Structure 1
Amino acid sequence: MKILKNFLQTTLLLVIGTATCLHIASAQETEKETKIKNLIGSGNYVFEAQSALPSRGQVRQLTYGYEIRVSKDTLISYLPYFGRAYVAPVDPSEGGYNFTSTDFEYNVKEGKKGGWDVSIQTKDQRDNKKMALKIQESGYASLQVTSNDRQPISYNGIITAVKKK
């Protein structure tokens, strides 16, 4: 009888502990989703690229620092490029997608399965780029960049708030 009583007490403690952990995890997820929703709504966030997926070749893991900064009036891109370029850049430092744009179209739509679909198209670059950013509610995102001068490339990463310097 004593063994049964100890077993029931232990089981009850495990159930209560698990329920508490699940409730805390759910609250943290809801808080994170709200934060991501506010960032997308404000139009002021950073896409931090973690891996690149060229049209040909293998996935490449990226080091810290490759990103796209989105704000209402400026788009700053610092991303590497792996793939075939149809037109070689005159300046070797222009090998990736490194540019600042102040004239661009920015559209946000709700995704079909939650999240957001963001489309960005530059208008003030020599080779205007189309960017399709698919953002999940958890903050993970995938970016596809299409250009006339290069093969398309995709990046996977996360959405974060702009860090103040």
Structure 2
Amino acid sequence: MKRLLKILGVTLICVYSFNTVNAQTAKADKKAARSVETSRIINAKNYIFNANYVLPLHGGGKQLSGEYSVSVSKNKLVIYLPYFGRAYIAPMDASDGGIKLNTIHFDYKAERNKKGNWDVVIKPKDRETSGSKDVQLLRLSISADGYASLQVTSLNRESISFNGTIEEQKKEK
């Protein structure tokens, strides 16, 4: 009887260990697949940064509700983000708050860093496009898992940062 209990105990330990190893392998496989997917959409310039948290230069961070994003494609950059902070020059139009930009003229540079994450720098070029007079530089730091932080540097406003995620941009119909 004691021998049977020992065999049963060893069998249960083996089954538990096997399940744990399988779960860890599945998790590692999902992480590797997400890393490959993230690399693919960054290299293809086909993604959307969805902001869910804002970190102004002064004051505390705020959870965002709503659809604030930066859409990047090969031939278009669309920014729709809120702004909390100090503006050095007030906009001429009172309804022109936030950070808004829609342009086809921009420089894009994406590089992998030593940790395997992505550093993306976007510079709008056309100063005549609405909104681009203020936006000087966008700096995205993207993890292999698709989590990202964005820092927006403006000409007439204090810098502001956002946290969020990236996802593949859906094809327009």
Q: TM-score, normalised by structure 1?
A: 0.95
Equivalence for 1:16: 18
Distance 1:50 1:129 in 2: 22
1:93 to partner: Cα distance: 2.4
Structure-to-structure mapping, 1:76-87, within 5 angstroms: 76-87=78-89
Q: Which residue identity is paired with 1:153?
A: I
1:4 to partner: Cα distance: 1.8
**Structure in which a larger fraction of residues adopt strand:** 2
Equivalence for 1:139: 146
Q: In 1, are the aligned partners of 2:151 and 2:159 still within 8 Å (CA)?
A: yes
Q: In 1, are the aligned partners of 2:133 and 2:155 still within 8 Å (CA)?
A: no
1:148 to partner: Cα distance: 1.4
Equivalence for 1:127: 134
Root-mean-square deviation (CA, aligned residues, Å) is 1.1
Equivalence for 1:105: 107
Equivalence for 1:96: 98
Distance 1:94 1:13 in 2: 62
Equivalence for 1:54: 56
Per-residue Cα deviation, 1:75-130 (whole angstroms, up to 9, x for no partner): 00000001001111111222111110111111111112111110011122222421
Distance 1:91 1:112 in 2: 44
Distance 1:23 1:151 in 2: 45
Q: Does 1:160 align with 2:162?
A: no
User: Gaps (5+ residues) in structure 1?
Assistant: none
1:64 to partner: Cα distance: 3.5
Distance 1:54 1:127 in 2: 17
Q: TM-score, normalised by structure 2?
A: 0.91
1:72 to partner: Cα distance: 0.9
Q: Percent identity?
A: 38
Distance 2:27 2:148 in 1: 21
Equivalence for 1:29: 31
